[in-house]
Structure 1
Amino acid sequence: MVQPVSTLNHPTLLESPQEWDLSTLYQGFDDPQLTGDLEQLQQTAIQFRDTFRDNIKDLTAEQIADCLKQLEAIAQQSGILYAFPALIFSADTRNTEAKQMQDKVLEALTSIENQLLFFDLELKNLDDARYAELEQSAVLQSYRHYFYNLSKFRPYKLSEAVEQTRNQDSLTGRQAFINLRSVHLGEQEYEPVSTPDGKSCSTEAELGALLFHPNAEVRYNAYGSVRSVMQQHNSLYGYILNSVAQDHKLENQMRGYDSTLHKQLLADEVSEPVFRAIMSGTRDRFDLWQRYYTLKGQALGQTIRTCDVYAPWDSQPVEPLPYKAGVETLLAAIADFDVNYARRAEEFFLKNWVDAKVRPGKRGGAFCWYIHGKHSCLLLSYTEDYNSLFTLAHEMGHGLHFAWISDRQSYFNSNPPMILAEIASTFNELLLLDYLLKQAGDNPALKKTLITRQLEDQLNLLFRQSTISRLELAMHDRATQGTFDHTFVNDQWMSLYHELCGDAVEVLPDHQYDWARIGHIYFKPYYCYQYTASNIVSLACYQKYLQVGKDFIPGYLELLSAGGSMDQVTALKQYVDVDLEDPATISAALKYVEGLLDQLQATL
């Protein structure tokens, strides 16, 4: 195991994975402050509406700026109110009280949002000259990107009454189906899988960790345990996904969007040519995925199956990485980059803003939940392995990104476009990898483990994530023609995976149900290609850092601080000299992966 060399002092860190302390939000569901804040927020929204509705066209730029500040305060408090039950529910999806409170708060916030819809709609209804005048006003310069984004959606606005109905429908419509999936998935029990040393694993997180186990039978059983649940409920998850896709289609028709892709690219601030270049650029290099897994299969003496893609290259398991050692290692890696950056990361552990404990009913995967005006909360299930450590590094990158945004941006400028939003997370993983490789010293087995893990991570981000978006292209295209069911999604997913894997990976029959585990295809369309795009940009940023050293840091931190205050293509060029629209940027990322493959093959 790598011995961390940390420059930081953190005496209060727990020896085992910690749980959240959410007392910075509220003390509990019976906290009178929670009820009081919700009631006060409702009154504030009503008062704002009574004061300004039908008057926006007559307001000065200064008055518009004051309105925006009031709306930001309402939005910030709304975020705090919703985060509290949502975080508790994510940590335990079997907590009925948390689910009920989440529903109650969501209903109240939807009502508040409906009270305030008029403001954006009245701005959108201004004539072009008046709108341009506000955009150029000196007093509104800090909101310039807000006005820019608002203008993009002016052609797609609906009447206030219809917009309100759409919001209300979300409680029992699209969002309700998304929540149903989360609740249902959290209630599932998995067939336990035992390891040769007698350990029994039955949670989704533990079973996922077994995919890295050196024993092929253990991997196969763990893979099958999770997918058998997906198979059992295949028709239900297909029905939910179709309902979500159909709702997007109806919204597109109502608003006049060309497609769900068109709508989402507008929100993502990504042009369609960039999207298509990413999709075609990665599809043209499936040979990299196939080359790696061919090499891995030769090394293991077997054909790699979809349950084996994360199998270790060596039969000897890597030593467990206890939580405290993992945290210290991560902090030391970040400190090598910048000590102040690391101290902001340390705060997350010292103040228990991390929930890393493995529990039944805990939401699968990992996330960083940013609460403007407070702090971020990180969720993962730490299973004492390097995969968990890299997940922690990834989510901490998000947390640090939002910490820098909080220092500089108001609420409306705090949400970065998705490609920018994933840069710090991937950059953190690259920092951690380099640190671990240096600390590994003369341990060739660990070095190989780390290099192959990085390769597999890169292959996942570049090829699997873009393949998920290819599934969405097929799915949303089918939705325009009519409904679909689970068999359509199963067939599309298998076809896409066979194309990706070629003869290098055996796609097991159970893999046809795997799509149901991908939360993003329910939560937000075309989210996953942005992992690919952001990884491409992150690699470009990291190469710049390696070239120029510490001189890179000020521009990088300015990029993080920009949040959602400016166009992401401009921000990347201005602060770190990376051009997202240049095809060479995509090619460079693919060449980086090819270079890692060359290094690996030279050692075999």
Structure 2
Amino acid sequence: MNSMPSPASIRFNPDTAGSSAATKPPRWDLSDLYASVSDPAVQADFAALEGQSKAFCEKWKGRLASLSPAELAGVFDEYESIEQGLGRIGSFSQLLFAAHTTDAECGRFAQSVQERLTDISAYLLFFSLEINRIEDQTLDALTADPAMEKWRPYLRDLRVFRPYQLSDEVEQVLMEKSVTSRNAWNRLFDETMASLTVTLDGEIKPLGDAFNRLTDADRTRREEAAKQVSAVLAENSRLLVMITNTLAKDKSISDGLRGYPRPASSRNRANMVEDEVVDALVSAVDEAYPRLSHRYYAMKAKWLGLEKLEHWDRNAPLSGVPDALISWEDGKEIVRKAYADFDPELGALVQRFMVNPWIDAAAVPGKSSGAFAHPTVPDVHPYILMNYHGRPRDVMTLAHELGHGAHQILAGQKQGYLNSGTPLTLAETASVFGEMLTFQSLLDAETDPKRRRHMLAAKVEDMLNTVVRQVAFYQFEVRLHDERRNGEVSAERIGEIWREVQVHSLGPAFSFSPDYDAYWSYIPHFVHSPFYVYAYAFGDCLVNALYGVYQEEPEGFADRYRAMLEAGGTLRHQELLAPFGLDATDPGFWRKGLDVISGLIDQLEQEG
């Protein structure tokens, strides 16, 4: 699910600000995929796809290396059609479960779909394995033919995994066992987190309400909420620690069988980026901690009149400017205008999401607390899930996810199902760029100096959360997985690692109380997508550099930008960035992106 685990901020429900029913955040309508869990089309499609998959296996298994280029291209077309059909059903079940995580029927349906998809996929597994066994010279001759032009990028990316491919028998066992191993633990985590509650103001409320209150102007209320989060995470520590240890061990076994040199290597291969490039990014951000997060949070402590910040002060609003709620209708218009002013074609794309029931934005119990854009299949459209509470940060989340949605439509329509998927390092480009457009649009329209300063500070905090915090998350994961190789890691030790990383990344302005040690356990990325998190920092630094090019040379930029999004997964980062004169392998590239954040902090420092 491309870009699914993008984190969303949790904010107060705009209903409390008197929004009318007509302007309440919407729920989505998934009927463009299927009408319901009992829709006969689901089982009919399953039966048809199973028959097609069996026939595909019987006809082509063992023959791929002997086919002509035209024949192989036809086999690829057939394979893509089956995969797209399976993707349609899988998308429906995943989306339904995300919107109704605590609903038992949706949970059973999602599990049954996953099991059926795995069973059918067993017939297709031979295809990629057999392709990767074709010798380089033979495959080069096949792909040199014009008939195979469409599939060259897909084969290029598939071959990246060739050195780590196991025997057909082992690969099939690993795939079939995933239903009762990693996938099962993921489901347990999701259902557990969706069911957690806290007590605030004498009332039982979803855990998300406590996270929302961490942005409250009242420090006492923030502290109360933080302690409620700590308490409920501590109560569930045994289960959350077990899930984490089990999944880390599961990954270690799989990585060991495949021969990956380190825990993050499989993620880097999937992102089509070299270990060394990621190392350079992480090193650059780590080196920049003092001039970024350490400096900013020292300033924030002074602004708040505190000698030290506690962890519940990190997202505290600055005093002097009330953080007014923004209605859903106003939030949509802010984002639509920002995209349309940059490029009318992109503006029209995001408008389609707003006039159609493709967004699930209502903050309701039993729903996933995160935010994502799911591309589904090219002949339908993406869907967006978020929780809109009416704060400015929720408007930015909407801008972020609509960037993903527009990217997914452009890539899917241009490249088709198999070639449209973008590596995570580039999947965040359109989303973060959309946030930047929206922020700049709001900043340009603001004339009040106090509000402009407030907006700059909020943007800096968002960028620190995207770059510094996510790289710190990555560093935490590296240390945790390294220690897991030597045996199960205790809750106390995981908490120590977490606190050490937070102290290192956020700096001496903070005094971290022991109750913060459990906060690692609510982050879904560690469970669903190990080592995903650095992609946010990659994307933010990339967008900072990209936006600088746009400001310097706006003429023709939108056309080049759209072409980059339309490329989907067919081009690597070097090829995508070349038209903009950028190179992510250049050490100066990362510094250029980090300098943008440092420059904003300079502005705030000068203003006092």
Tell me the TM-score normalised to structure 2 length: 0.94
Show CA shifts across 1:383-421 (max 9, x none): 111011111111111001111112211212111111110
Supply the AA of the counterpart residue of 1:262: S
In 2, are the aligned partners of 1:62 and 1:139 still within 8 Å (CA)? yes
Give the Cα–Cα distance (whole angstroms) in 2 for the partners of residues 13 and 150 of structure 1.
Answer: 49
In structure 2, the residue matched to 1:309 is 314
| Residues in 2 aligned to 1:468 and 1:159: alpha-carbon distance in whole angstroms | 34
Indicate the residue corresponding to 1:386 in structure 2. 392
Q: CA deviation at 1:524?
A: 1.4
Match of 1:584 in 2: 588
Deviation at 1:227, TM superposition (A): 2.6
Task: Name the residue aligned to 1:134.
Answer: 142
Shift of 1:333: 1.2
Q: CA deviation at 1:30?
A: 1.4
Q: For residue 59 of structure 2, what is the aligned residue in structure 1?
A: 51
CA contact (8 A) 1:378 1:396 kept: yes
Displacement after TM superposition at 1:448 (Å): 2.1
1:42 aligns with 2:50: yes
Structure 2: distance between partners of 1:14 and 1:76: 36
Q: Which residue of 2 aligns with 1:536?
A: 541
> Is 1:449–2:449 an aligned residue pair?
no
1:422 matched residue in structure 2: 428
Aligned to 2:274: 271
Give the drift of 1:222. Answer: 1.8
- Given candidates 279, 292, 297, the residue that maps to 1:293 is 297
Q: Relative to structure 1, is the Cα distance of residues 205 and 188 closer, same or farther in structure 2, using a 3 angstrom cutoff?
A: closer
Task: Find the aligned partners of 2:258 and 2:187 in 1 and give their Cα distance.
Answer: 25
Alignment partner for residue 513 of structure 1, among 490, 512, 518?
A: 518
**Aligned pairs for 1:411-560 within 5 A:** 411-441=417-447, 443-560=448-565
Among candidates 145, 151, 159, match of residue 151 of structure 1: 159
Which secondary structure state, in structure 1, belongs to the residue aligned with residue 554 of structure 2? helix
**Quick one: structure 1 residues 204 and 393, their matched pair in 2 at CA, closer, same or farther if it must change by over 3 Å?**
farther
Question: What SS is found at the alignment partner of 1:190?
Answer: strand
CA distance in structure 2 between the aligned counterparts of 1:377 and 1:329, rounded to whole angstroms: 20
Which residue is 2:5 aligned to?
none
Q: What is the CA–CA distance in structure 2 between the aligned matches of 1:125 and 1:602, rounded to whole Å? A: 61
Q: Does 1:94 align with 2:102?
A: yes
Residue 22 of structure 1, CA deviation: 0.8
Aligned partner of 2:350 in structure 1 is: 345
Deviation at 1:193, TM superposition (A): 4.3
1:327 match: 332
CA 1:509 to 1:550, structure 2 compared with 1: closer, same or farther past 3 Å?
farther
Q: Is the 8 A contact 1:290 1:505 kept in 2?
A: no
Contact 2:69 2:143 in 1 (8 A): no
Q: CA deviation at 1:147?
A: 1.2
Question: Shift of the alpha carbon at 1:546?
Answer: 0.9
Q: Are 2:293 and 2:507, in contact at CA under 8 Å, matched by a contact in 1?
A: no
Pick the aligned partner of 1:377 from 368, 379, 383: 383
**SS at 1:320 equivalent:** coil
* Structure 1 range deviating more: 49-58 or 376-385: 49-58
User: Who is 1:81 aligned against?
Assistant: 89
Provide the C-alpha distance between the structure 1 equivalents of 2:211 and 2:556, rounded to a whole number of angstroms. 40
Which residue of 1 is the match for residue 416 of structure 2?
410
Deviations 1:483-521 (A, max 9, x none): 323222111101111112332122232221111111111
Give secondary structure in 2 for the equivalent of 1:212: coil
The answer as to 2:240 corresponding to 1:237 is: yes
Percent identity for Structure 1 against Structure 2: 29
**Which residue of structure 2 lines up, in the alignment, with residue 259 of structure 1?**
262
Which of residues 565, 568, 576 is equivalent to 1:571? 576
- Secondary structure of 1:506's counterpart equals coil
Query: Given that residues 466 and 529 in structure 1 are in contact (C-alpha distance below 8 angstroms), is that contact kept between their aligned partners in structure 2?
Result: yes
Structure 2 gaps of 5+ residues are 1-19
| Counterpart position of 2:15 | none
2:389, 2:208 → 1: CA distance? 8
Residue in 1 that maps onto 2:226: 223
Aligned-residue offset at 1:437: 1.0
Does 1:206 pair with 2:209? yes
Query: Per-residue CA shift, 1:333-387, capped at 9, x if unaligned?
Result: 1111112211110111211100110111111121111112211111111111101
How many angstroms apart in 1 are the aligned matches of 2:546 and 2:215?
29
The question of whether the paired residues in 1 share the 8 Å contact of 2:404 and 2:428 is answered with: yes
Note closer, same or farther for the CA distance 1:406–1:201 as it changes in structure 2 (3 Å cut): farther
What is the alpha-carbon distance in structure 2 between the residues aligned to residue 390 and residue 219 of structure 1? 22
Q: Distance in 1 between matches of 2:92 and 2:145?
A: 37
- d(CA) in 2 for partners of 1:455 and 1:365? 21
SS of residue matched to 1:107: helix
- Distance in 1 (CA, whole Å) between partners of 2:207 and 2:398 is 17
The alignment covers a number of residue pairs equal to 586
What is aligned with 2:284? Answer: 281
User: 1:312 deviation in Å?
Assistant: 1.2
Amino acid paired to 1:275: V
Identify which of 64, 69, 72 aligns with 1:61: 69
In structure 2, how many angstroms separate the alpha carbons of the residues matched to 1:247 and 1:368? Answer: 28
CA contact (8 A) 1:401 1:424 kept: yes
Q: Distance in 2 between matches of 1:592 and 1:106?
A: 43
Preserved contact between residue 574 and residue 584 of structure 2 (Cα < 8 Å) = yes
SS in 2 for 1:202: strand
In 1, the alpha carbon distance for the partners of 2:201 and 2:172 equals 49
The alignment partner of 2:233 has SS state of helix
Distance in 2 (alpha carbons) for counterparts of 1:333 and 1:459:
23
Three-state SS of the structure 1 residue aligned to 2:183 is: helix
Cα deviation for residue 14 of structure 1 reads: 4.2
Mark the CA change 1:73 to 1:214 in structure 2 (over 3 Å): closer, same or farther.
same
Give the direction of change, closer, same or farther, for the CA distance of 1:96–1:201 in structure 2 (3 Å limit): closer
- Aligned residue in 2 for 1:596: 600
**TM norm structure 1:** 0.94
Contact 2:196/2:206 (<8 A) preserved: no
Q: Secondary structure at the match of 2:74?
A: helix
Q: How far does residue 13 in structure 1 lie from its aligned partner after superposition?
A: 11
Q: Secondary structure at the match of 1:158?
A: coil
* Shift of residue 530, structure 1, vs aligned partner: 1.1
Kept in 1, the 8 Å contact 2:404–2:431? The answer is: yes
Change (3 A) 1:432 1:177: same
Q: Which residue of 2 aligns with 1:6?
A: none
Alpha-carbon deviations, 1:19-40, whole Å to 9, x = none? Answer: 0011101111111111111111
SS of corresponding position for 1:191: strand
Measure the CA separation in 2 of the matches of 1:237 and 1:134: 49
The equivalent position to 1:191 in structure 2, one of 190, 195, 199, is 199
In structure 1, how many angstroms separate the alpha carbons of the residues matched to 2:90 and 2:201?
37
Deviation string for 1:123-148 (max 9, x for gaps)? 11222321222232321122112111
Contact in 1 for aligned 2:321/2:450 (Cα 8 Å): no
Q: Does 1:355 align with 2:360?
A: yes
